């Protein structure tokens, strides 16, 4: 079984630059105040976790370790978290793996998920894909949304699309944008009548509203083409523009083509060239757009460079999107179309 590159996303999340903890240690994100207590098992808050919440990571570790040695799963998970992220102490992957594994053996879902990632990586525990799968599935079945998403990736690699879609939907329903986007693509890629573009577009809407730029590009393209619902070129353009202004290179190239073709916006060859120049500056080379640039005059190229500079100075300004009645905002996933959570999402 090959390891999907998406796993690296979650392993790399702990590798950000250190800051300073309140008791003098190094801190890496996410901040402790943003971490739900449920990550550390079902035990109620205690002095170790209270210290962790206040940024007293050395104190939290000192309080947690004796209990971890005694087999307390919440303390084991807390100690693992501190070591994994280098919170107040030097990052120590071996100790993190030791305590995550100990807590995983006591069915703490977060620890099962983290241990599965470590087993797939193979740095601090012997690589074991079969055991990683079992732990990932246990965490997913316990309701861990990120484990559900990762398990779905494994299942897709194994060719089990039906089971993968089940776990993707569970994860997507919790609000995980990665899962919402992936589920949309899975639903849309099915053969023949099994493809459900309307439902897929609904999941793209949800992911796009969470500033998931890849979903914004996909949704924008679907709106421009009229895939999965009514065609709305203006709103499609606006979604792609939003992703482009946030720095997405592919969106910038797509936006350039929309300006060139005058789709969803008044045609503007200077704007088209400027956005493509920004995309090219980001490393994307599109032969079609290269030919487009060749056809511009020297004055047009100079004007495009000036426009590009203006766009760079403007930065990622938030765009205001207005979706008309009957537009993409009304396209919700079928599983969420009825009931208490049926809210029309407006950008």
User: Could you tell me if residue 261 is inside a domain?
Assistant: no
Q: What tens digit of pLDDT does each residue of 92-148 get? A: 999 999 999 999 999 999 999 999 999 999 999 999 999 999 999 999 999 999 999
Please work out, in degrees rounded to the nearest 5, the angle formed at the alpha carbon of residue 311 by the alpha carbons of 310 and 312: 90
Closest CA to 294 of 276, 267, 319, 321: 276
Q: Name which of 25-29, 122-126, 182-186, 325-329 the model is least confident about.
A: 25-29
Report pLDDT digits (tens) over 23-74. Answer: 333 333 333 334 455 555 555 558 999 999 999 999 999 999 999 999 999 9
Structural domain of 10? 6-157
Q: Would residue 57 count as lying in a domain?
A: yes
For 151-175, what is each residue's pLDDT tens digit?
Answer: 999 999 999 999 999 999 999 999 9
Q: Is the pTM of this model over 0.85?
A: no
**Would residue 122 be called left, alpha or beta, if left means φ above 0 and alpha means ψ between -120 and 50 degrees?**
left
DSSP string, 33-63: GGS-GGGG-SPPP-HHHHHHHTT-HHHHHHH
Q: Is residue 133 part of a domain?
A: yes
Q: Indicate whether 114 belongs to any domain.
A: yes
Q: What is the CATH number of the domain that holds 50?
A: 1.25.40.10
Is residue 326 domain-resident?
no
Residue 274 lies in a domain: no
Mean pLDDT of 186-215: 96
Determine, yes or no, domain membership for 119: yes
Total structural domains in the chain? 1
Residue 252 Cα to chain centre, angstroms: 20
70 occurs within a structural domain: yes
């Amino acid at each position: 079984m090959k390891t999907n590159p998406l796993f690296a996303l979650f392993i790399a999340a702990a590798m950000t630059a250190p800051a300073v903890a309140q008791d003098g240690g190094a801190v890496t994100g996410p901040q402790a105040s943003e971490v739900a207590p449920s990550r550390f098992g079902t035990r109620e808050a205690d002095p170790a976790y209270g210290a962790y919440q206040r940024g007293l990571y050395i104190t939290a570790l000192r309080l947690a370790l004796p209990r971890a040695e005694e087999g307390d799963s919440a303390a084991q998970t807390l100690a693992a978290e501190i070591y994994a992220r280098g919170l107040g102490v030097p990052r120590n992957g071996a100790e993190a793996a030791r305590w995550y594994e100990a807590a995983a053996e006591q069915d703490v879902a977060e620890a099962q998920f983290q241990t599965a990632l470590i087993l797939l990586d193979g740095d601090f525990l012997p690589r074991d894909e079969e055991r990683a799968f079992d732990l990932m599935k246990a965490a997913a079945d316990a309701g861990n949304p990120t484990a559900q998403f990762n398990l779905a990736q494994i299942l897709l690699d194994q060719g089990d699309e039906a089971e993968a879609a089940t776990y993707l939907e569970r994860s997507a329903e919790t609000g995980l944008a990665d899962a919402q986007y992936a589920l949309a693509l899975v639903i849309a890629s099915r053969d023949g009548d099994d493809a459900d573009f309307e439902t897929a577009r609904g999941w793209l809407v949800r992911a796009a509203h969470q500033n998931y730029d890849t979903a914004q590009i996909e949704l924008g393209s679907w709106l421009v083409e009229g895939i999965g619902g009514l065609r709305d070129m203006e709103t499609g353009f606006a979604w792609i523009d939003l992703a482009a202004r946030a720095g997405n290179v592919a969106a910038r190239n797509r936006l350039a083509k929309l300006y060139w073709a005058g789709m969803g916006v008044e045609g503007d060859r200077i704007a088209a060239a400027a956005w493509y120049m920004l995309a090219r500056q980001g490393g994307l080379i599109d032969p079609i757009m290269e030919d487009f640039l060749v056809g511009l005059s020297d004055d047009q190229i100079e004007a495009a460079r000036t426009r590009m500079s203006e766009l760079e100075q403007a930065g990622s300004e938030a765009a205001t999107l207005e979706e008309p009645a009957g537009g993409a905002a009304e396209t919700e996933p079928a599983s969420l179309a009825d009931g208490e959570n049926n809210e029309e999402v407006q950008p």
